[in-house]
Amino acid sequence: MDWLNYHHLLYFWVVAREGSLVAAGKVLRLSHPTLSAQIRALEEELGEKLFMKSGRNLALTETGKTVYRYAEEIFTLGRELVDTVKGRAGQALQLDVGVADVVPKLVVKRLLQPALSLPVPVRLVCYEDSYDKLLADLAQHALDVVISDAPVPAGSTFRVFNHLLGETTVSFFATAPLAKNFGPGFPESLNGAPVLLPLKSLTLRRALNHWFDKLGVKPNIVAEFADSALLNVFGADGVGIFPAPTVIATEVMAQYNVETLGRATDVRESFYAISAERKVKHPAVVAISEQARQDVFGLDAS
C-alpha cells in the first residue's frame, strides 16, 4: 500500500493557495529551498508535475488541480475533527465569523443573534475586513463562515460555497427636516436632493445607480462611504438622505432618530453565509441560516 506524506501535501496545499514559494514560505516559516525540495518530493511520490511557471508565480497543472481539491477536503476534515473535540460538552462552542465591511451592522446583529440562543453555549468571535481578505482567511480555515452581501463568483480560486440567507428591498431614511422637504412625491423627490450613498464599486451602489437612471432621477450625492455604519451616522446628523435595508427599518429609525421616506422596491440587497463546506454543519451556522430564512428576511419577502 502506498502511503502519502501529509507534510508534503500540506506544503503543496499552502504553496498552491498562496501562489508562490516565497509567499508560502512566509506562512510556513520555511526557506524557499526547503519548500521547493518538499514539493519535488511530493511530485516524485505521485509521479506527476503539480506546478508550472506563470510569470513570477506558480500555477497548478491539471493534476495539481485534482490534488489541490483532495488536499482541501483532507484539511477541512482535519479542522472539523479538532473543532468537534474542542467543542465537547461543558465547553463553549466557538464560532469565528468574518463580516464583510459593507454589510450593515444592524443586519449582522439580527443574523448572528440565533447563534447565542442555542442550548449549548456559543462564543462568537467576529472579524470585520474586506471581502477578499475574509475569503482568503476562510479558505485557510481561519474562519467558520463569512457574512457578505455578494456571493463568491463562479470560477473563483477560493473553494468555498455560497448559502443564500435572504434578500430585502432598500428604503431611504432622513432626519425630520429632510423628510419634510423631500418625503412628498418619493421617489421623484430625490431629484436634486442631498443623498449619501455607498461607494461606486459596491453591489448596492450599482443597483441604486440603475434604479436612479430608470426613474430619470439625479440626486445630489453629498458623500460616499465604504462603511455603512459611518454612512448612517452622517445620515443621522442630517447631512443627507441615506439608504438601508428595509428589513432593519425599525432599528434604523430607532437608533438614528430618522424617518422613512419610501422604499425602492426594485432594488434588492441579498446576504450570504459563505463557508468552506458544501453543506453547513456547524450548529451555530445552521441556526443562523434557518432563522434568517424563516424570520429575519421572511417579513420582507415581497
pLDDT at 266 over 60: yes
pTM: 0.66
Considering only the top CATH level, what class is 6-82?
A: mainly alpha
Residue 243 near residue 208, CB atoms below 8 Å: yes
More confident residue, 286 or 87: 286
pLDDT at 159 over 90: no
Long-range contacts of 74-78 (CB under 8 A, 24+ apart): 74/6, 74/9, 75/10, 75/13, 75/141, 76/141, 76/276, 76/277
More confident residue, 254 or 2: 254
| CATH number listed for the domain at residues 90-302 | 3.40.190.290
For residue range 88-131, list pLDDT tens digits in order: 545 678 889 999 988 999 999 999 999 888 888 888 899 998 88
For residue range 131-143, list pLDDT tens digits in order: 888 988 888 888 9
The structural domains of the chain, with segments of one domain joined by +, span 6-82, 90-302
More confident residue, 286 or 189: 189
CA dihedral 176→179→184→186, nearest 10 degrees, is -150
